[in-house]
């Protein structure tokens, strides 16, 4: 028998060691790769988690801050206390700063969200922030209407746009994270395949090695066994020993110790011992593998804990969360949702969620929601939701599909936030923005909107609409007499009374002050508008009870019809306003339809006003002087300065056409100042040259008179021009005396203190003239030309003029009769002992040069313009 | 005769040694014996509570007491204190970034549920809302609140927890008597030193051209007014209504008009003259009362038209003043926080001076009164009364209160002496403003009548002032009508009981309505 060497020169120990090293290397390589794959998978999962959860957490924080900012600005608009408003505004500023910083964190954080989306959010925030910054000034000035206007019209849209943009960021983040997750899963799958391949190759190598070992070891051991058996049973010849390995040595030993069985057994024990060592080695390797597996299990457990943390966050989220299956059936409700909805998880789970229930939500909206969700998109909106107890609330609802890595949608996620308070506050602001705070009637803004709607409706149906413009005739008297609070109460009662007369579809609005508007939709013709106007007018015949006082007020009403009197709201408003003024001019307590001539008159007034501006600077005014004569002697006593306007555009414009406009626009103040200075300068010249006692009279309008510096200005001009103060006569009309008696009286006393004299002009044209003469310290009264004109024919006028002269004299006043044109009139006035006269019979108004010539002539050759008595 | 408002410490001396404590205690007893009108304080037990307990660890003791209550089960762990204050004071109560709230919650394990109350008097609010543990009330409201059983007396809790209300420097409360006491009981804890203060345009006062013009017109130097007559000259001098600039921006609405009448009454009153005489007959229709009313009405000629409109209180006048549209206004020193901001149009242009009063022997005696004031009170229906008290004790601790008053966005005014010297608070208010407020501290008189029915008395006064301001009755008629209505109110509430209240209150008042006029011993 012959034992063949398996490989010349290499011992079995060496072979076993080499094999062992190779096996260990393969096992270590496999373990290393498995560990690497596991670590990378964990890292990728963490990265995906970070890319999704962290931005979403930041976004949730931003949305919460954004809603807090909106809530703050809405509350700010409702604040009435200054310190509270300041405090709230400070808080708003801090919230804006916090939001800006949080947004910067989001934008700078590593994120899968596209940069242009974040840039859009930053731009929208900048716009919103700028609008919010504009709140500072009105808050410091407590102009809360302006704050409300900004909150309603300027920030609301910017807030909504920013909110939507944040939603879009959330959606982009979710989509990006989903893509990252899928990529990570794919890469992990590839790595597992490589690992499996390497494991298979390692296993194959191990099998080949076992086969080779089988052949190299056990074949030869079998030969030894055979030989030993043969030797034990029948004995045998010495083994033929070849080679130099351990078996050759065994063979040699076998041969050497053939007689000694113990030696053979010893050799067999050695072999057995070596096999046991190998078993121990394999056991150790298996232990290492087991340890690795335990570590992986530990990592898996940590991932599960992270999931549990997220689950707890959902459970404790202040936002209401519902999870449904794809059929809309509720599977989970968090406690916040139970609080918000008033329901309970026990009842809700297993039922169709209300948001998907066509019986509780709009079927169209439900379809749209499901369509978006099935397409993998989100749905976001505000819904009014009912509670089991019947109450309702507004919620901001976000719906998102829950998508598995396979792309299948398994559930729907419903987020619900109670925004009832914000909705209520926004509704309140909107109401305040569109309604008058005092009467709660629609204000001018809403009225114009309703009017436009009425016009649209009339246009579509070829119908008519009417606008009535109402003004209280004597509201100011009520206000002055009973105070503003009573005036306010009257406005409220008046608004209610008008409202009670109209159809539900008609609009009554407060246009401002004591003005109301009525918008009549779908009127058949002018007769309907006339009927309503008359009805409203008659309704005010009954008195109002204002603070226990019985108050009567009347109305002047102007009506304009669409399309007859205008096709736009602004034109109709203007024309109804004009018609109202016509009703006032017609004696008040009446109504009028718009007439186009009114409009023409208005246009003429506008033209005059346009030309009037700058006329003073362009030197278009001049003064003429109408002499005032002594009735008895015929001597020139003085003159009244009268203004003339030569407009290069309009030609000569009569004072009665432009003075009223100058008064209304305030231009009368500088014009009157020019008259004062020019007349005084001229009078000073005549006083120096002809008569130190020459009187000059100027007319002063109410607005000029009420200017703060009027008295000081008179004193200044008198001093500058060197005019003796007592030669200046200031003529005022009754219009000045109607209001603010105390103020006027103070001014009169101040003028008298300066030395000027006061005259009541146009005496007799107002009903209260006599009372005014007694009440105010006039020096002179001028009887209006209306009464003088018919003094020769009308006994009544004669009696009236006689009475006025007597009464004036009894009060110590000098009397001037205006408009004397005939010798008869002069004779009668002389008979009544009238002091002075003025009129064409004495002299027409003369230019400064003309009067200068007359005075010069009188100086060198004393003469009279009329014959002395 | 003694000066009550500047009397020796009756409520304890903080941080004193044993010897100092003994001396303080002796001094207290001596003072009480001398002050006949204050003997009732002995019965209240306050003095005992005060003398033995230093106030240095007030906040720590409050926290320790809460912990003990929780440990013994007297207070559930995590109990929530329902604190309801006005929006403008919320930041002061909760601290900068709600840091005070966080400190309290961390230290005690309890929570603060803070809410906002209407910016009005507290009586109706406390009546209607039974979910409040701690809230605030104006100084003049406490007699009504106590007599109607709406708030609880605090003396038992003060004694139980060793709380002290010192009223002397360095860190005592500045207006203990005016804000905390009613009928011998502590019923409120001062938490806001709201005294009226006069604000003027410093830049105009210092303008040489104005000074020369003023001297030529009035024959005296342009200077802060010492009397209401001088004040009237100033507002008339600087009035420029045509330019939208007004001499006086004092509120004149119906609800708060009385606050601006009271200092005038005190300035015009004779020595010993109060709102009522000894038999509780009104004295406001006296020549002095009518003169005060005429002074009150005289500024209307130099005020914007809207000042008479209902609801146009300081929220109307103060923004105008801070926008540079007026020469003067009267408000608490809180306005300095707004004027002292660099973005304000009047930054650096405003000065505060003590309120006008009178000149006695060449010395100026200002006559400020408390106006709004936010004293801490505990509603009778509060759920956590003890917790509320301990929070009040903690909040008004010398250190904690300095943090509270120093909050930029809050409008609680300094109410302890050391607040006026605290660098943080001086930086927020502006040093000159605080110095002016501090200068008039000894003269600050209480607000209102001090009687049950105060709301009705003041409503009648304010209503008549309003009617007079609208020109529908003269100053004399306004005072006569008010006096008649006050008599009716007294009869309606029971003259005997009212007289008893008045005599107790009067005994605690100085001999004159103007404190410094009484000789000081």
Residues A698-733: tens digit of each pLDDT:
999 988 888 888 999 999 999 999 999 999 999 998
Residue A43 is predicted with a pLDDT of 78
In a domain, B32, yes or no: yes
Pair (B362, B484) in one structural domain: yes
- Taking the CA of residue A190 and the nearest CA in chain B, the distance in Å comes to 53
Pair (A761, A856) in one structural domain: yes
pLDDT band at B16 (very low <50, low <70, confident <90, very high): very low
In degrees, rounded to 5, the angle at the alpha carbon of residue A723 between the alpha carbons of residues A722 and A726 is: 145
| Chain A hits for B322, Cβ within 8 Å | 140
Sign of the CA dihedral with A419 first, then A425, A429, and A431 last = positive
In a domain, A385, yes or no: yes
Binary contact (A82, B314; C-beta < 8 A): yes
Select from A76, A77, A78, A82 the residue whose CB has the most chain B CBs within 10 Å, as the one to mutate to test that interface: A82
Bigger pLDDT: A505 vs B132: B132
| Chain A hits for B316, Cβ within 8 Å | 142
pLDDT tens digits, B319-352? 999 999 999 999 999 999 999 988 899 999 999 9
Binary contact (B323, A140; C-beta < 8 A): yes
Does the pLDDT value for residue B65 go beyond 70? yes
Residues shown for chain B: 521
The closest of A679, A605, A704, A659 to A851, measured between CA atoms, is A679
Pair (B345, B465) in one structural domain: yes
Select from B119, B242, B339 the residue whose CB has the most chain A CBs within 10 Å, as the one to mutate to test that interface: B119
Pair (B290, B395) in one structural domain: no
Choice among A157-171, A250-264, B162-176 with the minimum mean pLDDT: A250-264
In a domain, A104, yes or no: yes
Does the pLDDT value for residue A424 go beyond 90? no
Choice among A363-372, A515-524, B426-435 with the minimum mean pLDDT: A363-372
Does the pLDDT value for residue A743 go beyond 80? yes
At which of A562, A594, A626 does a domain end?
A594
CA distances in angstroms from A464 to A368, A523, A565, B216, listed in the order given: 41, 5, 11, 70
Q: What's the number of domains chain B is made of?
A: 2
User: Mean pLDDT across the stretch B288-307?
Assistant: 95
Could you tell me the CATH number of the domain that includes residue A323? 3.30.450.20
Pair (B277, B351) in one structural domain: yes
Pair (B332, B406) in one structural domain: no
Residue A234 is predicted with a pLDDT of 57
Pair (B211, B63) in one structural domain: no
Binary contact (A88, B87; C-beta < 8 A): yes
Which residues span the domain enclosing B36?
A: 18-188+376-411
In a domain, B110, yes or no: yes
In a domain, A137, yes or no: yes
Pair (B220, B356) in one structural domain: yes
Pair (A589, A611) in one structural domain: no
**C-alpha span between A846 and A840 (Å, rounded):** 11
Buried (b) or exposed (e) across B193-226, using 16+ Cβ within 10 A?
bbbbbbbbbbebbeeeebeeebeeeeeeebebbb
In a domain, A73, yes or no: yes
- Taking the CA of residue B410 and the nearest CA in chain A, the distance in Å comes to 7
Residue A748 is predicted with a pLDDT of 92
Chain-wide mean pLDDT for chain A?
85
Does the pLDDT value for residue A769 go beyond 90? no
Residue A205 is predicted with a pLDDT of 78
pLDDT tens digits, A234-249? 555 666 666 666 666 7
Could you tell me the CATH number of the domain that includes residue B358? 3.40.190.10
**Nearest CB partner across the interface for A81, out of B119, B309, B408:** B119
Which residues span the domain enclosing A374?
A: 318-425
In a domain, B5, yes or no: no
At which of A162, A179, A194 does a domain end?
A194
pLDDT tens digits, B251-295? 998 888 999 999 999 999 987 788 999 899 999 999 999 999 999
| Chain A hits for B87, Cβ within 8 Å | 79, 81, 83-84, 87-88
Pair (B184, B197) in one structural domain: no
In a domain, B4, yes or no: no
Binary contact (B87, A483; C-beta < 8 A): no
Binary contact (A83, B91; C-beta < 8 A): no
**C-alpha span between A539 and A809 (Å, rounded):** 48
| Chain B hits for A709, Cβ within 8 Å | 242
Give the three-state DSSP class for A620: coil
pLDDT band at A233 (very low <50, low <70, confident <90, very high): low
Q: What's the number of domains chain A is made of?
A: 4
Pair (B159, B239) in one structural domain: no
Pair (A172, A90) in one structural domain: yes
Pair (A458, A558) in one structural domain: yes
pLDDT band at B221 (very low <50, low <70, confident <90, very high): very high
Could you tell me the CATH number of the domain that includes residue A818? 3.20.20.450
Q: Are A855 and A628 in contact (CB under 8 A)?
A: no
**C-alpha span between A721 and A715 (Å, rounded):** 10
Interface of A to B at Cβ within 8 Å reads 79-88, 90-91, 140-142, 483-485, 707-709
- Taking the CA of residue B33 and the nearest CA in chain A, the distance in Å comes to 44
In a domain, B47, yes or no: yes
> For residue B246, what are the β-bridge partners?
B326
pLDDT tens digits, A67-76? 889 888 888 8
Sign of the CA dihedral with A117 first, then A119, A125, and A131 last = negative
**Nearest CB partner across the interface for A142, out of B86, B90, B319:** B319
Bigger pLDDT: A590 vs A265: A590
| Chain A hits for B242, Cβ within 8 Å | 707-709
- Taking the CA of residue B317 and the nearest CA in chain A, the distance in Å comes to 10
Pair (B274, B342) in one structural domain: yes
Nearest CA in chain A to B85: A84
In a domain, B320, yes or no: yes
Tell me, what's the ipTM?
A: 0.82
The closest of A410, A379, A413, A416 to A397, measured between CA atoms, is A416
Interface of B to A at Cβ within 8 Å reads 86-88, 90-91, 119, 241-242, 308-311, 314-316, 318-320, 322-323, 334, 338, 344, 408-411, 470, 472
User: Mean pLDDT across the stretch B146-154?
Assistant: 94
**Nearest CB partner across the interface for A84, out of B86, B309, B322:** B86
User: Mean pLDDT across the stretch A743-754?
Assistant: 90
**C-alpha span between A777 and B91 (Å, rounded):** 61
pLDDT band at B515 (very low <50, low <70, confident <90, very high): very low
Binary contact (A91, B316; C-beta < 8 A): no
The closest of A563, A357, A566 to A464, measured between CA atoms, is A563
Token code pair at residue B229: 């007559």
Binary contact (A80, B241; C-beta < 8 A): no
In degrees, rounded to 5, the angle at the alpha carbon of residue A497 between the alpha carbons of residues A495 and A502 is: 95
Pair (B311, B444) in one structural domain: yes
Residue A598 is predicted with a pLDDT of 65
In a domain, A222, yes or no: no
User: Mean pLDDT across the stretch A789-799?
Assistant: 86
3-state percent breakdown (helix, strand, coil) of chain A, nearest 5: 60, 15, 25
Give the three-state DSSP class for B166: coil
**C-alpha span between A80 and B319 (Å, rounded):** 12
Pair (A384, A479) in one structural domain: no
- What is the edge-to-edge ordering of all strands in the sheet holding B80-86? B111-117, B80-86, B134-137, B375-377
At which of A396, A425, A454 does a domain end?
A425
Pair (B112, B209) in one structural domain: no
Pair (A628, A763) in one structural domain: yes
């Amino acid at each position: 028998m012959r034992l063949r060497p398996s490989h010349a020169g290499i011992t079995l120990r060496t072979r076993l060691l080499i094999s062992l090293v190779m096996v260990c290397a393969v096992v270590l390589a496999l373990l290393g790769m498995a560990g690497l794959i596991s670590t990378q998978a964990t890292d990728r999962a963490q990265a995906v988690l970070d890319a999704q959860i962290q931005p979403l957490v930041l976004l949730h924080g931003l949305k919460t801050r954004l809603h807090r900012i909106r809530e703050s600005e809405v509350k700010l608009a409702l604040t009435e206390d200054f310190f509270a408003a300041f405090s709230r505004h400070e808080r708003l500023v801090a919230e804006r700063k916090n939001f800006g910083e949080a947004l910067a964190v989001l934008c700078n954080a590593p994120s899968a969200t596209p940069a242009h989306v974040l840039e859009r959010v930053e731009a929208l925030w900048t716009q919103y922030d700028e609008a919010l910054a504009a709140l500072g000034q009105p808050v410091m000035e407590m102009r809360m209407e302006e704050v409300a206007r900004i909150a309603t019209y300027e920030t609301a849209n910017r807030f909504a746009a920013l909110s939507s943009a944040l939603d879009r960021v959330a959606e982009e983040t979710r989509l990006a994270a989903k893509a990252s997750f899928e990529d990570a899963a794919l890469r992990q799958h590839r790595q597992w395949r490589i690992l499996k391949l390497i494991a298979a190759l390692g296993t194959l190598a191990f099998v080949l090695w076992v086969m080779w070992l089988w052949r190299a070891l056990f074949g030869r051991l079998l030969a030894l066994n055979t030989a030993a058996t043969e030797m034990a049973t029948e004995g045998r010849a010495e083994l033929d020993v070849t080679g130099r390995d351990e078996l050759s040595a065994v063979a040699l030993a076998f041969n050497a110790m053939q007689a000694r069985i113990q030696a053979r057994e010893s050799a067999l024990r050695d072999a057995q011992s070596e096999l046991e060592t190998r078993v121990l080695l394999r056991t150790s390797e298996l232990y290492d593998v087991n340890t690795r597996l335990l570590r992986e299990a530990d990592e898996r457990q940590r991932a599960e804990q992270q999931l549990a943390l997220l689950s707890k966050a959902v459970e404790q989220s202040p936002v209401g969360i519902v999870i449904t299956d794809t059929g809309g059936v509720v599977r989970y409700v968090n406690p916040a949702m139970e609080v918000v909805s008033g329901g309970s998880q026990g009842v809700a789970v297993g039922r169709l969620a209300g948001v998907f229930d066509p019986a509780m939500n709009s079927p169209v909206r439900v379809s749209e929601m499901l369509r978006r969700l099935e397409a993998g998109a989100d749905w976001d909106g505000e819904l009014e939701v009912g509670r089991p107890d019947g109450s309702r609330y507004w919620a901001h609802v976000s719906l998102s599909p829950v998508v598995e890595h396979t792309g299948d949608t398994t559930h729907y996620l419903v987020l619900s936030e109670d925004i009832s308070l914000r909705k209520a506050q926004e509704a309140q602001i909107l109401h305040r923005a569109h309604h008058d705070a005092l009467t709660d009637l629609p204000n001018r803004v809403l009225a114009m909107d309703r009017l436009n709607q009425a016009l649209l409706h009339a246009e579509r149906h070829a119908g008519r609409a009417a606008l009535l413009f109402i003004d209280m005739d004597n509201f100011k008297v009520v206000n002055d007499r009973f105070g503003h609070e009573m005036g306010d109460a009257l406005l409220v009662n008046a608004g209610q009374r008008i409202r009670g007369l109209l159809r539900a579809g008609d609009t009554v609005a407060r246009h401002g002050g004591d003005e109301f508007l009525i918008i009549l939709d779908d009127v058949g013709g002018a007769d309907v508008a006339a009927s309503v106007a008359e009805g409203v007018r008659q309704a005010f015949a009954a008195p109002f009870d204002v603070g226990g006082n019985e108050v009567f007020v009347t109305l002047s009403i102007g009506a304009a019809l669409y399309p007859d009197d205008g096709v736009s709201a602004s034109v109709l408003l203007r024309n109804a306003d004009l018609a109202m003024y016509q009703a006032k001019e017609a004696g008040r307590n009446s109504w009028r339809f718009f007439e186009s001539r009114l409009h023409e008159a208005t246009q003429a007034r506008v033209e005059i006003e346009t030309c009037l501006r700058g006329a003073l600077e362009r030197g278009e005014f001049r003064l003429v002087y109408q002499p005032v004569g002594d009735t008895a002697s015929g001597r020139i006593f003085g003159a009244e300065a009268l203004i003339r306007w030569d407009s290069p555009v309009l030609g000569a414009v009569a004072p009665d056409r432009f003075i009223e406009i100058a008064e209304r626009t305030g231009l009368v103040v500088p014009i009157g100042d020019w008259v004062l200075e020019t007349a005084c300068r001229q009078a000073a010249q005549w006083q120096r040259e002809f008569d130190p006692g020459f009187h000059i009279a100027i007319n002063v309008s109410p607005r000029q008179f009420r200017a703060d510096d009027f008295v000081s200005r008179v004193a200044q001009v008198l001093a500058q021009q060197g005019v003796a103060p007592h030669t200046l006569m200031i003529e005022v009309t009754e219009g000045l005396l109607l209001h603010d008696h105390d103020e006027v009286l103070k001014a009169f006393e101040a003028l008298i203190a300066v030395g000027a004299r006061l005259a009541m002009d146009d005496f007799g044209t107002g009903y209260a003239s006599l009372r005014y003469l007694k009440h105010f310290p006039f020096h002179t009264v001028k009887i209006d030309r209306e009464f003088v004109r018919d003094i020769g024919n009308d006994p009544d006028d004669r009696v009236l003029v006689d009475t006025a002269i007597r009464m004036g004299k009894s009060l110590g006043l000098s009397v001037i009769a205006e408009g004397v044109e005939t010798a008869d009139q002069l004779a009668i006035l002389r008979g009544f002992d009238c002091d002075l006269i003025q009129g064409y019979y004495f002299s027409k108004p003369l230019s400064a040069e003309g009067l200068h010539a007359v005075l010069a002539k009188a100086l060198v050759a004393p003469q009279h313009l009329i014959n002395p008595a | 005769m003694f000066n009550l408002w500047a009397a020796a410490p009756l409520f304890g001396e903080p941080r004193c040694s044993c010897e100092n404590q003994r001396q303080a205690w002796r001094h207290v007893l001596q003072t009480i014996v001398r002050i006949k009108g204050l003997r009732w304080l002995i019965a209240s037990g306050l003095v005992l509570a005060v003398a033995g307990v230093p106030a240095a660890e007030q906040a720590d003791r409050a926290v320790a007491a809460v912990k003990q209550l929780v440990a013994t089960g007297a207070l559930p762990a995590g109990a929530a204190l329902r604190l309801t204050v006005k929006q403008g004071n919320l930041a002061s109560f909760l601290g900068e970034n709600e840091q005070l709230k966080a400190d309290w919650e961390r230290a005690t394990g309890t929570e603060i549920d803070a809410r906002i109350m209407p910016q009005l008097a507290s009586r109706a609010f406390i009546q209607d809302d039974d979910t409040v543990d701690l809230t605030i009330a104006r100084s003049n409201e406490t007699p009504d609140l106590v007599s109607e059983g709406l708030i609880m007396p605090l003396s038992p809790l003060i004694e139980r927890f060793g709380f002290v209300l010192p009223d002397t420097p360095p860190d005592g409360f500045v207006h203990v008597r005016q804000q905390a006491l009613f009928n011998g009981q502590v019923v409120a804890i001062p938490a806001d030193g709201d005294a009226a203060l006069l604000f003027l345009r410093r830049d105009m006062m210092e303008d040489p051209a104005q000074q020369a013009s003023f001297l030529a017109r009035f024959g005296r130097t342009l200077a802060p007014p010492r009397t209401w007559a001088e004040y009237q000259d100033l507002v008339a001098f600087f009035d420029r209504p045509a330019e939208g600039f007004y001499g006086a921006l004092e509120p004149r609405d119906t609800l708060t008009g009385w606050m601006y009448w009271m200092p005038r009454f005190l300035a015009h009153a004779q020595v010993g003259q109060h709102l009522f005489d000894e038999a509780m007959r009104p004295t406001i229709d006296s020549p002095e009362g009518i003169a005060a009313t005429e002074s009150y009405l005289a500024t209307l000629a130099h005020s914007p038209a809207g000042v008479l409109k209902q609801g146009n209180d300081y929220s109307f006048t103060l923004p105008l003043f801070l926008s540079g549209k007026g020469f003067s206004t009267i408000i608490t020193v809180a306005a300095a926080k707004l004027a002292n901001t660099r973005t304000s149009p009047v930054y650096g242009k405003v000065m505060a001076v003590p309120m006008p009063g009178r000149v006695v022997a060449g010395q100026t005696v200002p006559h400020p009164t408390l106006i709004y004031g936010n004293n801490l009170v505990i509603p009778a229906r509060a759920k956590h009364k003890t917790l509320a008290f301990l929070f009040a004790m903690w909040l008004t601790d010398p250190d904690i209160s300095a943090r509270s008053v120093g909050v930029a966005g809050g409008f609680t005014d300094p109410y302890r002496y050391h607040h006026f010297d605290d660098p943080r608070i001086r930086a927020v208010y502006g040093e000159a403003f605080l110095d002016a407020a501090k200068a008039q501290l000894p003269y600050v008189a209480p607000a209102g009548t001090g009687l049950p029915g105060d709301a009705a008395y003041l409503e009648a006064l304010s209503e008549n002032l309003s009617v007079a301001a609208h020109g529908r009755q003269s100053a004399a008629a306004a005072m006569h009508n008010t006096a008649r209505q006050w008599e009716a109110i007294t009869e309606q509430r029971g003259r005997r009981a009212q007289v008893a209240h008045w005599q107790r209150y009067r005994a605690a008042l100085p001999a004159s309505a103007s404190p410094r006029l009484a000789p000081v011993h």
